[in-house]
């Protein structure tokens, strides 16, 4: 398979218990082409080792190494997954010669394949341009089922990522591209952003969000004080869609928690808010797939950002499996 790298077993190390107490003892390193159809609950970790879109968007490169950093940190964490739950590392989509578009296409195909195999995909990045490929992978899967279902996107992020791709697509354009694709097909663009900051989006982006009927919560409101209201907001959003695709941009967190990102800021939100919101989303029963974007090990401090990303994966994996 082009633009693909098989799983690396050397990432999966840690304390040895011989009792599956740690996730590196639980995981199966399974190349995509060898992945069987799941007969029980199964989670597949897929990397998106690409930061060409970040470079095009004038961000700090280094996120192509993000997937490996997250997997390595996740490997060392305790395993509470039940014996009836499978965990696979299925490798990573790669980017050659800055060909981001081909990487996105390959990611879409891989996500469709994982869903067809009855896996729950967790995609690890990599630039946020991954969202365009990820969304289309979900949509292709649902279109094949001919159910005409509505995909709701929930983005935890400081940025709208609604820049217009008039010159070239990049890590700041994926949701604008999705919106335009929805417009062409005559389907609703359902997009909720949590944690938007005024100091991270210019006035044109706020106007674009208004024009596209984007729902968003500003960072000053995305705080524990308003959790009850935000929970109501999320429930109202999920009620009106068939499936929810969640994407978490690590640069939305304060750099106190996530220094290793492409666009760091001390003004972001805290992990507690994201975890509490994820509980609400998962309880809706509509979460179909999830990704974590902009992990940049080049700027991380003591693996702090990788540990944050791994903890989010840990929470989601255990929550969706009832473990």
Ligand-binding site membership of 300 (annotated): no
If we measure between CA atoms, which residue out of 235, 240, 321 comes closest to residue 276? 235
As beta bridge partners, residue 216 has 193
Ligand-binding site membership of 159 (annotated): yes
Q: Cβ distance 110 to 46 under 8 Å?
A: yes
Pairwise CA distance, residues 194 & 178, whole Å: 18
Q: Compute the chain's Rg from CA coordinates.
A: 18
Pairwise CA distance, residues 22 & 205, whole Å: 44
Ligand-binding site membership of 251 (annotated): yes
According to DSSP, the β-strands at 215-218 and 190-196 are parallel
Ligand-binding site membership of 291 (annotated): no
Q: Cβ distance 179 to 191 under 8 Å?
A: yes
Helices vs. strands in the chain: H and E counts, helices first: 10, 10
Binding-site entries: 128, 157, 159, 161, 249, 251
Return binding residues for Mn(2+). Answer: 128, 157, 159, 161, 249, 251
């Amino acid at each position: 398979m082009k633009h693909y790298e098989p799983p690396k077993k050397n990432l999966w190390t840690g304390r040895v218990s011989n009792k599956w107490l740690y996730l590196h003892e639980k995981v199966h390193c399974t190349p995509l082409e060898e992945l069987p159809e799941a007969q029980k609950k199964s989670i597949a970790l897929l990397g998106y080792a690409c930061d060409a879109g970040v470079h095009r968007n004038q961000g700090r490169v280094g996120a192509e190494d993000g997937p490996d950093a997250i997997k390595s940190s996740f490997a060392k964490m305790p395993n509470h997954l039940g014996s009836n739950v499978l965990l696979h590392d299925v490798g990573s989509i790669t980017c050659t010669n800055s060909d981001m578009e081909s990487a996105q296409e390959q990611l879409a195909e891989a996500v469709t394949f994982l869903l067809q195999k009855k896996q729950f995909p967790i995609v690890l990045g990599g630039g946020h341009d991954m969202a365009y490929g990820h969304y289309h992978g979900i949509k292709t899967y649902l279109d094949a089922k001919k159910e005409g279902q509505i995909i709701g996107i929930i983005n935890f992020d400081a940025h709208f990522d609604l820049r217009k791709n008039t010159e070239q697509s990049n890590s700041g354009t994926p949701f604008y591209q999705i919106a335009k694709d929805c417009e062409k097909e005559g389907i609703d663009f359902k997009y909720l952003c949590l944690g938007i900051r005024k100091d991270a989006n210019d006035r044109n982006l706020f106007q674009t969000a208004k024009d596209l009927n984007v729902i968003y919560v500003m960072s000053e409101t995305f705080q524990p004080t308003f959790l009850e209201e935000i929970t109501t907001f999320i429930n109202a959003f999920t009620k009106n869609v068939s499936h929810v695709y969640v994407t978490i941009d690590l640069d939305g967190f304060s750099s106190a928690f996530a220094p290793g990102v492409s666009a760091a800021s001390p003004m972001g939100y805290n992990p507690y808010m994201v975890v509490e919101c994820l509980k609400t989303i998962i309880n809706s029963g509509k979460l179909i797939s999830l990704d974590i974007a902009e992990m940049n090990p080049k700027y991380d401090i003591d693996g702090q950002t990788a540990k944050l990303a791994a903890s989010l994966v840990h929470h989601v994996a255990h929550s969706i499996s009832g473990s």
